[in-house]
Amino acid sequence: MTISVESLSFSYGPKQALQDVNFLLNKGEFHALIGPNGAGKSTLFALLTRLYALQGGNIYIDGESIKAQPASAMKRIGVVFQQSTLDLDLTVTQNLLYHASLHGISSKEAQKQIDRELERMEMKARANEKVRGLNGGHRRRVEIARALLHKPDILLLDEPTVGLDPQTRRALNLHVRKLCDDENITVLWATHLMEEINIDDPIILLHQGSILLDALASTMIEKSGEQNLTDAFHKLTDSDSFGGAQ
């Protein structure tokens, strides 16, 4: 399953948030969307998930426009938003059943999927606990399980590790990478933490609403002349001297 973003532009009134954004996500690969705060990552996610209506440009999933076929697009996409969207007063299972029902899945079928995903996320034992009682890492695991319930081909994660400790961040990152390998799921992982990116990951560097670089992470290091990803990222996004590279 590929996602193709073509000439995407978006503005909040006079403020341009995205400007002529183009990129392609390849099937079964882990892609990192990086950029400092305010770069336009969350706006891009809102457009990919249809929370915002497209203003300019288009998004295609396997050649199918999400504007023309929104229902089909939503069936194929699983999302983990930056801000937690779990209902704190419902149990883990109740939250997951709610999500499954919104995707038109029967309770019986959903329960099988819930068992499978919670097992995979090592959260089965917490299934009947209220979300309010879970820590941040466990809540994120539940959100990832939820995003996978309807068996999507594409997983979008908007800064999913915000507020988590390093060990939990790493575990979540590894788990999502495993999903790419095992299930051939296409992943777009938005972050501004360079330790979450491998040197051979395809990256999309977004800065001030435009794409500065669409290449492998190693290319970012080469082009910046720095020694590591963190320095390369800071150099490119602090100085604005690296304009126009696609």
Q: What is the closest distance, in whole angstroms, from the C-beta atom of residue 155 to other proteins in the complex?
A: 13
What's the min distance (Å) between Cβ of 192 and other proteins?
19
27, 103, 116, 235: which one contacts other proteins (CB under 8 A)?
Answer: 103
Cβ atoms 141, 122 nearer than 8 A: yes
Whole-angstrom Cα distance, residue 112 to residue 114? Answer: 5
Q: Which of residues 42-61 bind other proteins (CB under 8 A)?
A: 42, 46, 49-53
Q: Using the minimum distance from each CB to other proteins, give the nearer residue, 73 or 203.
A: 73
Among the residue ranges 27-35, 58-66, 99-107, 199-207, the one whose residues contact other proteins (CB under 8 A): 99-107
Asked whether the beta carbons of 140 and 80 are under 8 A apart, the reply is: yes
Q: Are 76 and 16 in contact (CB under 8 A)?
A: no
Our CB check for other proteins shows the closer of 62 and 195 to be: 62
Q: Are 153 and 1 in contact (CB under 8 A)?
A: yes
Position 38 contacts other proteins (CB under 8 A): no
Q: How far is the CB of 220 from other proteins (least distance, A)?
A: 29
Give yes or no for residue 87 binding other proteins (CB under 8 A). Answer: yes
How far apart, in whole angstroms, are the C-alpha atoms of residue 188 and residue 197?
A: 12
Interactions with other proteins, residue window 60-79 (CB under 8 A): 70-75, 77, 79
Residue closest to 239 by CA, chosen among 228, 227, 225: 225
Of 94, 218, 219, 230, which one interacts with other proteins (CB under 8 A)? 94
CA distance 150 to 14: 38
Calculate the dihedral angle through the C-alpha atoms of 227, 229, 232, 236, rounding to the nearest 10 degrees: 170
Q: Which is nearer to other proteins, 51 or 68 (CB)?
A: 51
Q: Indicate which single residue of 3, 44, 86, 203 sits in contact with other proteins (rule: CB under 8 A).
A: 86
Under rule CB under 8 A, residue 104 binds other proteins: yes
Q: Which residue, 88 or 199, is less far from other proteins as judged by CB?
A: 88
Q: Are 149 and 113 in contact (CB under 8 A)?
A: yes
Which stretch in 16-24, 57-65, 89-97, 197-205 sits in contact with other proteins by CB under 8 A?
Answer: 89-97
Q: Which residues of 35-67 are buried (b: 16+ CB within 10 A; e: fewer)?
A: bbeebbbbbbbbbbbbeeeeeebebbbeeebbe
**Which residues in this chain contact other proteins in the complex, by CB under 8 A?**
42, 46, 49-53, 70-75, 77, 79, 81, 83-87, 89-90, 94, 97-107
